[in-house]
Amino acid sequence: MKQIHEYGKSEAYNIAVIGGDGIGPEIVREARKALDAAAAKEGFSLKYAEYLMGGAAIDETGEPLPKATLEGARNAEAVLFGAIGGTKWDNLPRNLRPETGLLALRKGLDAFANLRPVKVFDALVEASPLKSEVVRGVDLLVVRELTGGIYFGQPRGRDDQSGWNTMIYSRFEIERIAKVAFEAAMRRGKKVCSVDKANVLEVSQVWREVVTSVAAGYPEVELEHMYVDNAAMQLIRNPRQFDTIVTGNLFGDILSDEASMIGGSIGLLPSASQGAKGGIFEPIHGSAPDIAGKGIANPIATILSAAMLCEYSLGRRGAAARIENAAKKALELGYRTPDIARFNADKQINTVEMGDLIADLIARED
Ligand code: NAD
Ligand code: IPM
Ligand code: MN
């Protein structure tokens, strides 16, 4: 939740840090550098406490979300998180998998609203596999419901012959996520596109009804409904048509990975999940086992998540702007991690170099 910040007051904020697995610890380290640099400029400080989650926690404690981690997250101002998961833990039963730790953290913090902004950097227009004229200027927000839907619905299970899950949404759950989307749209382009599968699924029919009734409270906002299959296509055909997209847990997961490529790489997309207290700030991507340990992951998604942390949980818009501007500047100067280096191989740098560069740019700015 947003807090009001009194200017001139020096404060120390407690941040729970969860590196996780794969590239998680590598990218979180770089995000901390950016946070510290921005905090120094803005006259506040951050105290970090590190916690285990996911595969690292399973190896150490036998469970994907140790109690100490949930407690630490609850008591902190905000959680900065990298990523979890990896092939090592893929054959464990669901309740012991790394992913279950993350789902339990989101649920435990009541972080039901996952904001995933997709903003195309001018400097990276050429890095997208889509044509420049399609992606230039894209600025959309995916509001993904995060603690319900098919991820959590009962019954679920498996036996020898089959497996089953339940996609269920209560009116209460739909109403609260729809309100987040309409409020966000009021601060943006005043357009909401609600994405569902109401031509087939009862859960989507209820979704559509509730979103429509919430829209009545926002007469200035234009509401459109779109089927998820069409939305997947429209995101590639003409992404600029979207302002704010609101959708359920599974559809939002899939569409946001798809949308990340509009801007050139999944390594660029941050997220903020509103929690009971501070919230969880994490890149939308995973632990990238294929590049883990190589030092080449793009830290920008996590660095921009740190910016969202400053804005949403600390009420420090100034620090957020410093981080965002520095990331933008690093790209404008031509520096690229390998995932976005298609046309700028001469200034290719690694994870640590990108993190250092961004922190340095923050420190050197007035
Ligand atoms: P992924 O997002 O980890 O990786 C997909 C592809 O994108 C890979 O080729 C990877 O190298 C690349 N990529 C991802 N982040 C990158 C970055 N910052 N810089 C450069 N390239 C990047 O998805 P996946 O491979 O399907 O899943 C791997 C593991 O991560 C699985 O265990 C999965 O469950 C987990 N996962 C975790 C989260 C999370 O912690 N929030 C999210 C998604 C997947
Ligand atoms: C994400 C991930 C997670 C999700 C997994 C790892 C549980 O894909 O954060 O997008 O599906 O929410
Ligand atoms: Mn995902």
Q: Where are the beta strands (DSSP E) in the chain?
A: 12-20, 45-50, 78-83, 113-119, 139-145, 157-158, 163-164, 191-196, 222-227, 244-247, 272-274, 280-281
Q: What is the DSSP secondary structure assignment for residue 168, as one 8-state letter?
A: -
* String of DSSP letters for 249-292: HHHHHHHHHHHHGGGT-GGG---EEE-SSS-EE--SS---TTTT
Instruction: Give the atom of ligand 2 at the shortest distance from the alpha carbon of 151.
Output: 11
Q: For position 10, what pLDDT does the model report?
A: 60
> Residue 326 corresponds to which tokens in the numbers above?
């520095």
Residues above pLDDT 70, as percent of the chain? 96
| CB-ligand 2 contact for 284 (6 Å cutoff) | yes
Q: What is the mean pLDDT of the chain?
A: 96
What is the C-alpha to C-alpha distance for residues 326 and 303, in angstroms, rounded to an integer? 10
Tell me: pLDDT of 149 over 60.
Answer: yes
Residue 217 dihedral angles phi and psi, to the nearest 5°? -80, -5
What pairs with residue 20 in β-bridges? 83
| CB-ligand 1 contact for 290 (6 Å cutoff) | yes
What is the C-alpha to C-alpha distance for residues 79 and 17, in angstroms, rounded to an integer? 6
Tell me: pLDDT of 75 over 80.
Answer: yes
- Nearest Cα to Cα of residue 207 among 256, 172, 181, 232: 172
Looking at this protein, which amino acid is placed at residue 309? Answer: L
From residue 137, how far is each of 55, 119, 134, 265, 320 by CA, in Å? 38, 8, 9, 16, 21
Tell me: pLDDT of 137 over 90.
Answer: yes
List pLDDT tens digits, range 167-217: 999 999 999 999 999 999 999 999 999 999 999 999 999 999 999 999 999
Q: For position 276, what pLDDT does the model report?
A: 73
Looking at this protein, which amino acid is placed at residue 198? Answer: A
Name the residue of 103, 281, 287, 305 whose CB sits within 8 Å of the most ligand 2 atoms, as the mutation to test its pocket.
103
Confidence of residue 278 (pLDDT cuts 50, 70, 90): confident
- Nearest Cα to Cα of residue 28 among 54, 7, 6, 3: 54
Helix (H) or strand (E) holding 133: helix 132-135
Nearest protein Cα to ligand 2, atom 5: 99
